[in-house]
Structure 1
Amino acid sequence: GATRGGARDLTRHNTVAVATVCEAMRRSGCTARLVQVGCSSEYGPSQPGSSTAEDAIPRPGGPYGVSKLAATELVLGSGLDAVVLRVFSPVGPGTPAGSPLGRLAEAMRRAMQSGDGELKLSGLGVQRDFVDVRDVARAVHAASLSAAQGVVNIGTGRAVRLRDAAAVLAKVAGYAGALHELDTPPARLPIGAPRTSTESVIEHLSATPSPYPDGCGAWQQADVRTARDRLGWRPRINLEESLADIWMEAACRI
């Protein structure tokens, strides 16, 4: 699948590809079980303080969420032995550098390399349900062996503010500088103007066109009771361990 790009590319990679798999399974008479990896972006924004359950009405806030929701509907209507896992915010090894935590780790690495004693960041008020990718893999395995149908949320059941994750990442990284939060993205510097390392970091973190590029608003938290009851699954890896792995990968970049 794809997480970035225009509506056409997202539809091709996230919707048409799933339709092709479903059709191939139907035509071949394949009796394998299909586990579709969906995304919490299918739900769209949630009420702060609430936990989103599987019966919530999906209201995706962008083309990515729409393309994933369309794939979910295709799978649920396929007549196949299938289940959809709606994964909330996956983190840990392999976290993309363009994701919020990936950008944060990269900004911290640059600040430490340059000896910058302060890091100015924006968008840290967002709260997400971060779940380690290794726990997600365990959920996929459990779903493949279960008889569960329909949609199952995969998350931790706990929303974490990005600024709190930043503080944990600083501790893991050994970054002793100050973290300053910016309420609004700073204006871009004129072309050719000299830049301090901090200014470059600010621009790097503020490069996304929307404060919520996943279309999920300021808050998301999973109701994970279905995963517990129908898959026998619970998350095992805490956020500090996930962040340590993200930091290790960022620190190894040259």
Structure 2
Amino acid sequence: MRILVLGATGYLGGHVVDRLRVLPGTRLLVGGRSPDADVTVDLARGGPRDLAEALAAAAPAVVVNCAGATGGDAVTLAEVNARGPAALCAALRAAAPAARLVHLGSAAEYGPGTPGLRVTESDPTSPAAPYGATKLAGTVAVTASGLDAVVLRVGNPVGPGAPSTGLPGRVAALLADAGRDPDATLRLGDLSAHRDFVDVRDVARAAELAATAVGPLPPILDVGGGEAIPVRELVRRLATAAGFRGRIAEAGGGGSARSARVSWQCSDITAARDALGWRPSHSLDASLTALWAAVGARSARPEGVPAP
């Protein structure tokens, strides 16, 4: 089976590639703008005709779209998160209408949740910022495409390789800079929100299961931890994993602009369990330990020495 992964150089995409690369009977193809890509595609700017030609040549049985932007202005977010999936669907209809599309969406599409409740795939969507709105537009393009397609609405991914553009990765970088200095102070914004964290390796496993499942799947599946964790608690646990002995100073403001208006986010993952046999296998502590181990490994390498 030929599986094409788009956005393979990103955080989620890299883990999806690692998961699919060892899948028996699979030929993995990587698509992107890089000259090293197996399939040259640019979802944000390429026309459907060019995309269709590239897809026809690749002849994938499955396309896993991990491409997405979490930051930037509204135009950039719209190009990558909304136009990209729409162009991909148009190209697939023309070149590979029988291929399955697994698209990674975001729990930010739901917008603010109700404290104490888990959101389900059938609940209304009301994104609070351009990121969630553009991801929702991408989801609509996929679910209305008429293709054999499923959107995995991913919670807040955490684990090894987490980028500094997200809170876990940013806090890990700050902890690495602080070291074990007992006089160090970690200055952060408001940490009162609750988030549904899911290990990035569990997200990759959900993508694998969706790519290889026999028969049609529901149009949308929530992929999260199924539990709302105080962000303050995540920071505390990560500091413990890092052996941080200083002080954590929390102040109002300074948090992520795209999540500032969402104080509670938690997903009901029952449908993913029923459709895919999937459930998280990594605890939050295991995710944070792996995140910190990866940060420590990078910090320990001499300058100029690449990762193995």
TM-score, length-scaled by structure 1: 0.84
Match of 2:102, SS? strand
Q: Is structure 2 residue 200 aligned with structure 1 residue 133?
A: yes
1:142 and 1:248, CA in 2 relative to 1: closer, same or farther beyond 3 A? Answer: same
Amino acid aligned to 1:111:
A
After superposition, give the CA deviation of every residue in 1:139-172 in whole Å (9 maximum; x if it has no partner): 0111122321211100111011111111211221
How many residues were matched structurally? 230
The question of whether the paired residues in 1 share the 8 Å contact of 2:181 and 2:246 is answered with: no
User: Match of 1:232, as an amino acid?
Assistant: G
Q: What residue in structure 2 maps to residue 161 of structure 1?
A: 230
Q: 2:166 is matched with which residue? A: 99
* Conserved 8 A contact 2:181-2:244: no
Q: 1:27 aligns with which of 65, 86, 94?
A: 94
Q: What SS does structure 2 have at the residue aligned with 1:152?
A: strand
Confirm whether residue 43 of structure 1 aligns to residue 110 of structure 2.
Answer: yes
Query: Which one-letter code corresponds to 1:177 in the other structure?
Result: G
- Structure 1 stretch 102-111 or stretch 48-57: which is displaced more? 102-111
Larger RCO (CA under 8 A, 6+ residues apart): 1
User: For residue 13 of structure 1, what is the aligned residue in structure 2?
Assistant: 80
Of 99, 123, 126, the match for 1:56: 123
The farther-off stretch of 234-243 and 99-108 is 99-108
CA distance in 2, matches of 1:113, 1:142: 41
Quick check: 1:41–1:216 contact (8 Å CA) kept in 2? no
Q: Relative to structure 2, which stretch is displaced further, 158-167 or 214-223?
A: 214-223
Match of 1:232 in 2: 277
> Is the CA contact (8 Å cut-off) linking 2:182 and 2:245 kept in structure 1?
no
Q: CA deviation at 1:115?
A: 5.2
Which residue number corresponds to residue 262 of structure 2? 217
Distance 1:154 1:177, change over 3 A: same
Cα distance in 2, alignment partners of residues 153 and 180 from structure 1: 33
Distance 1:117 1:6, change over 3 A: closer
What is the alpha-carbon distance in structure 1 between the residues aligned to residue 121 and residue 105 of structure 2?
A: 12
Q: Which residue in the other structure is 2:243 paired with?
A: 174
Cα deviation for residue 122 of structure 1 reads: 2.4
Which moves more between the two structures, 150-159 or 104-113? Answer: 104-113
Shift of 1:209: 6.6
CA distance in structure 1 between the aligned counterparts of 2:233 and 2:192, rounded to whole angstroms? 9
* 1:22 Cα offset (Å): 0.8
Residue 132 of structure 2: which of 57, 61, 65 is its match? 65
Q: Give the CA RMSD over aligned residues.
A: 1.8
Q: Is the 8 A contact 1:45 1:215 kept in 2?
A: no
Kept after mapping to 2: 8 A contact 1:44/1:215: no
Instruction: Give the conservation status (yes or no) of the 8 Å contact 2:180–2:246.
Output: no
Q: Which whole-Å deviations, capped at 9, do the CAs of 1:41-91 have from their partners, x for residues lacking one?
A: 110110111101111111011111111111111111111011111001011
CA distance in 1, matches of 2:135, 2:107: 9
What secondary structure, in the 3-state scheme, does the structure 1 residue paired with 2:179 have?
A: helix
Please give the alpha-carbon distance, in whole angstroms, between the structure 1 residues aligned to 2:165 and 2:80: 19
Which stretches in structure 1 are left out of the alignment for 5+ residues?
Answer: 186-205
TM-score, L = length of structure 2: 0.70
| In the alignment, structure 1 residue 144 sits paired with structure 2 residue 211 | yes
**Which runs of 5 or more residues in structure 2 are unaligned?**
1-67, 304-308
2:279 is aligned with 1:248: no
Matched-pair identity in %: 41
